[in-house]
Structure 1
Amino acid sequence: MNNIILASVRQPGEDTVSDLHIVDGVVSRISAGGRIPGDARVVSLDGRYVIPGLWDEHVHMTQWALHSNRPDLSAAASAQEAAAAVGLHVHDADLSVTTVGVGFRDALWPDVPTLEMLDAATGNQPTALISHDLHCVWLNSAASRRYGVGVDAGGLLREEPAFALTRELGTLPDSVVDSWVRDAARAAAARGIVGIVDFEMTWNRDVWQRRIAGGFNALRVDAGVYPEDLERAHHDGMRTGMELDGGLGRLRAGPLKVLIDGSLNTRTAFCVDPYPDGGHGLLTVSFDDLVSLLRRAHEYGFVPAVHAIGDGANQMALDAFEHTGIGGRIEHAQFVRTEDLARFGPLGVTASVQPVHALDDRDAAESNWGGRTRRAFPLRSLLDAGATLALGSDAPVAPLDPWAAMSAASTRSRQDGRGPWHPQECISRGQALAASARGRRRIGVGDRADLVVLDADPLASPDAEFAAMPVAATLLAGRFTHDGGLA
């Protein structure tokens, strides 16, 4: 029997200390101290604060691990600057290995990417640059030839062609990628993460089963499924919530992910009103096809998770949920018509949102959704209308750090002196914590001992401290996955 006591802890907002007794991965008792069972391991926490374990509800885990080991172009302020930056990495590069840069943001660049520009910077070294939102890849001629992908004078691939090439660029030896994923998971655990919903764009079950068989144990993983694999998943008897790791409790089948529009950065998010260039974005699934997918997902036992960024896409997704009478999730919900906000709750649709995007995309939103951004990233409005929020990062689009997400949700600003963006859409710290812990607000007897130990009270800390919250330890079913020297 695994018997551990976290001695002298407080829950947020409390002054009194208690002892948390954990038996076989479950909180069995919360006491004011006193008798210690003889077989118990005692870890004294000296009055630190304990909260429920945190989840990131939207991650592309392999892409995040790859991103962490590739040249970062997020600081490039122009296409020319991005090309020059990656050019520094190719001088001594191996021509047999493609140079892959990540994180560029072209929505507000004063110039436009061109094939000629990237060729001039990189020469014969095959080079591919993946945008921060994963919806665009900028290739040079050598990479275009290597992968047999035709590009125009801009050298850009968008949406599905970009996704397909991104998957191919991630084809590295399993041992390399799995090692990077373990490192990324340990870093996530050090920020209080106990679980992720992984929407990697591939057949993900076998990948995670291999990793867990190889010793991966830092996080719980809900592995998403995409429509092209739905029949395969159904044939294998999978359904959302089903354990896939032989009872270890670390891998479950996640939702069915359906993309119906693009992104703001590429101006492909589908919107009711036109962009400055006159376009409305892109719908990648028709209403009838979406309805069919929702029904099939429901029949097979999968919770549908619909990617919708533009207000037109969110309207269509909600219409489809209402038409079928099926609940689920909308991933992103970045731009929502006022009349649609109150539909989420009654329809049983969770808004799976990424608050850091509001800070990253505020200038692009003002440029492309000018005069309408009061309803961009409408977290407070969604909550007030009865919606359930689930917070995440969309890593690598934003860092896999729940405190950055919760800080963005509760302040609508960075700790850089720039004022908050539409502060009326801030939510409280308590609401942000609950939306990051699958609704758990406090630790109670009978709870699974997925816990985070903090050096400060998250409800009372200054904003800057909250955004960079010091995490002393993280536990998964009573086992330390991050130990800052306490155990």
Structure 2
Amino acid sequence: MARDRLLAGGAIWTLDPTVGVAEAIALRDGKVLAVGNNAEVRAAISADYDYIDLAGRSVIPGICDAHIHLLWSALLADQIDLQEVASFEQALEIIRRHAERLPADAWVLGSGWDHSLWQRDWPTASELDQVTGGRPAFITRKDLHSAWVNNVALQRANISKFSSDPDGGSIGRDSAGEPNGMLFENGQLAVKACIPEPSNAQKEASIQTFIKRMHRRGITSLHVPEGPDCFAAVQALYGRGALEMRILHHLRMDLLDHAVAMGLKSGLGDAWLRFGNLKIFSDGSLGSATAHMLTPFDNLPANAPHPYGIPMLDREDLFATIDRAIANDISVIVHAIGDAANRTVLDAIEAAIKANPETLRPSLDTGPVAARIPNRIEHAQVLHPDDIRRFGQLGVIASMQPIHATSDITLADRLWGQRSQYAYAWRSLQASGAILAFGSDAPVESWDPWAGLQAAVTRQRPDATPAGGWYPEQCLSLNEALWAYTVGPAITSGEQAFKGSLSVGKLADLVILDQDLAQVANDQVAKVQVAQTIIEGQTVWEG
């Protein structure tokens, strides 16, 4: 049996409102034995224990990324990364250098580009042809809702002038109707189907390596909206006792009938691997101008094909899918960016709740109802003010990614204009009674939670612009932002009875920082370093 551990001499940010900031914490058998002042904690611990002197440093609960594409992020770590590449010419050079290192028949894969930084229209297939040496290329935009491909990739996928746009997507075309190298939403699927799959062993190894990287930043739990390939890899690691991350894994929408036939319900699993929600896409993204809007985007070209964005499902199908899931005790996780998408999803959830009054709702309790997993909307990036209060009223989690706000300032101001006062509206949602659960949406954005925390408390880019913050009335305090990265996700996964805060009896998942968090200025939060990450009482990373 492992020895007790005592941590004292610093500030323990418990995120438990009955305790607040404590002086000491004791761990036994993977759980919190005692937390409070030094005398209380030392009285509870055995005579034989390991002591960690915090030396003025802070401790926080283990961080949860409540929205991360785990396998995708892990695999992309070995591909082209165009995040923050500020010029088109530089992007082409990065692609050229990467392609030259590949075998002649390999695919050139990457992600992260943002043409708004390049101050030009969409990139083209012919431009990509020039730097890929005859190899097929598929490079997703940072939001993953559009992809830049070359002519070799278009030929492999049999996409031509005569190809029709698929349901829920479109093929970019030039003035002559020829495919121009841009694929939007489901328009990407034909090319994706041509890309060879990595082996199961490669997937598992990539995930393990990536998890180790996340430990270095204090992440101990994830909510993962990916497909069966990711779940299979995670389950294989779990089966071997090699999964060092707590994971809530969601279900792809096309598998709903299989889940219902099996009697699968949200919440099945244990503290390491747990089945979550049914993942549904209701619209596209801001960056690709495919978010579904109540009124047209501002500043689009006169010939823009989708001035109101693209709903991924028609209203009847969305309502029917959400109702079928909820009626079978499978809660939903619905991607919604635009104000029209968010309203429609809230309408659908409300209708399903009325039809199924015993539906899954969030609970702040720690009894049996706490194990039930609530419905949630992912991103909720821009809302009509009339819909803000509905999240709390309907018990719908607002699962959001603070770093989207600071990355999207320029685009949001240009495409949403004054509607941006209700974009990434964390304070308004919280004040209306909604539960916030924060994540990264990696690989769309950086998975570093400390960058997200800084975005939540400043609403400024890393260069401290705009001065005073972008719609600063929506900022959160550091304590509130930490709550949304710890307690909020635990409520969202129905696990607040045993994780989320550093409370007696809960899992000993915690992070020792390199300094006193109370002394960190808001604009320095992203620089905070992790000294040690502990999961179930055991150190998984130490710097």
Could you state the TM-score of these two structures normalised by the residue count of structure 1? 0.92
1:318 aligns with 2:346: yes
In 2, distance between residues paired with 1:433 and 1:15?
13
In 2, distance between residues paired with 1:105 and 1:257?
26
- Within a 5 Å distance, the mapping from 1:257-268 to structure 2 comes to 257-268=279-290
Counterpart among 70, 73, 96 of residue 64 in structure 1? 73
In 2, distance between residues paired with 1:172 and 1:467?
33
**Worse-superposed segment, 5-14 or 271-280:** 5-14
Counterpart among 506, 510, 517 of residue 447 in structure 1? 506
- CA deviation string 1:368-414 (max 9, x = no partner): 11232111111111112221111000000111111111110111013
1:27 aligns with 2:55: no
1:212 matched residue in structure 2: 238
1:223 touches 1:251 (CA, 8 Å); kept in 2? yes
In 1, distance between residues paired with 2:193 and 2:279?
16
**Worse-superposed segment, 184-193 or 269-278:** 269-278
**Worse-superposed segment, 38-47 or 459-468:** 38-47
Give unpaired runs (5+ residues) of structure 1: none
- Within a 5 Å distance, the mapping from 1:386-465 to structure 2 comes to 386-419=433-466, 420-439=469-488, 442-465=501-524
Percent identity between matched residues is: 33
- Within a 5 Å distance, the mapping from 1:155-304 to structure 2 comes to 155-162=181-188, 165-166=191-192, 169=195, 171-202=197-228, 204-243=230-269, 249-275=271-297, 276-277=300-301, 279-304=307-332
In 2, distance between residues paired with 1:288 and 1:148?
32
Shift of 1:38: 4.5
- Within a 5 Å distance, the mapping from 1:21-100 to structure 2 comes to 21-30=26-35, 32-33=38-39, 34=42, 37-77=46-86, 79=88, 81-100=90-109
1:11 aligns with 2:12: yes
1:12 touches 1:459 (CA, 8 Å); kept in 2? no
1:59 touches 1:199 (CA, 8 Å); kept in 2? yes
2:139 matched residue in structure 1: 129
2:64 touches 2:222 (CA, 8 Å); kept in 1? yes
2:487 touches 2:501 (CA, 8 Å); kept in 1? no
2:93 touches 2:131 (CA, 8 Å); kept in 1? yes
Distance 1:236 1:469, change over 3 A: farther
**Worse-superposed segment, 320-329 or 51-60:** 320-329
Counterpart among 390, 397, 401 of residue 343 in structure 1? 390
- CA deviation string 1:227-277 (max 9, x = no partner): 11122233344322211xxx5x31111211110100011110001111223
In 2, distance between residues paired with 1:138 and 1:306?
26
In 2, distance between residues paired with 1:435 and 1:104?
28
**Worse-superposed segment, 422-431 or 1-10:** 1-10
1:430 touches 1:459 (CA, 8 Å); kept in 2? no
Distance 1:111 1:422, change over 3 A: same
In 2, distance between residues paired with 1:15 and 1:262?
40
Tell me, what secondary structure is at the counterpart of 1:144?
helix
1:429 touches 1:458 (CA, 8 Å); kept in 2? no
- Partner amino acid for 2:322? L
- Partner amino acid for 2:237? R
- Partner amino acid for 1:10? A
1:352 aligns with 2:399: yes
In 2, distance between residues paired with 1:147 and 1:211?
34
In 2, distance between residues paired with 1:62 and 1:265?
23
- CA deviation string 1:133-177 (max 9, x = no partner): 111111112222334445643212211232564576472122223
**Worse-superposed segment, 358-367 or 273-282:** 273-282
- CA deviation string 1:349-376 (max 9, x = no partner): 1110011011111111111112321111
1:332 matched residue in structure 2: 379
Distance 1:15 1:307, change over 3 A: closer
1:7 touches 1:46 (CA, 8 Å); kept in 2? no
In 2, distance between residues paired with 1:61 and 1:170?
19
Distance 1:45 1:293, change over 3 A: same
Tell me, what secondary structure is at the counterpart of 2:517?
coil
In 2, distance between residues paired with 1:138 and 1:222?
31
2:12 touches 2:25 (CA, 8 Å); kept in 1? no
In 1, distance between residues paired with 2:272 and 2:237?
11
1:79 touches 1:112 (CA, 8 Å); kept in 2? no
Shift of 1:80: 5.1
Distance 1:15 1:106, change over 3 A: closer
**Worse-superposed segment, 426-435 or 290-299:** 290-299
Aligned length: 480
Distance 1:94 1:471, change over 3 A: same
In 1, distance between residues paired with 2:346 and 2:120?
36
**Worse-superposed segment, 234-243 or 122-131:** 234-243
Tell me, what secondary structure is at the counterpart of 1:393?
coil
Tell me, what secondary structure is at the counterpart of 2:55?
strand
Shift of 1:3: 3.7
Distance 1:63 1:483, change over 3 A: same
Shift of 1:7: 2.7
In 1, distance between residues paired with 2:146 and 2:102?
23
In 2, distance between residues paired with 1:92 and 1:469?
36
Shift of 1:214: 4.2
Tell me, what secondary structure is at the counterpart of 1:280?
coil
**Worse-superposed segment, 254-263 or 158-167:** 158-167
In 2, distance between residues paired with 1:236 and 1:220?
24
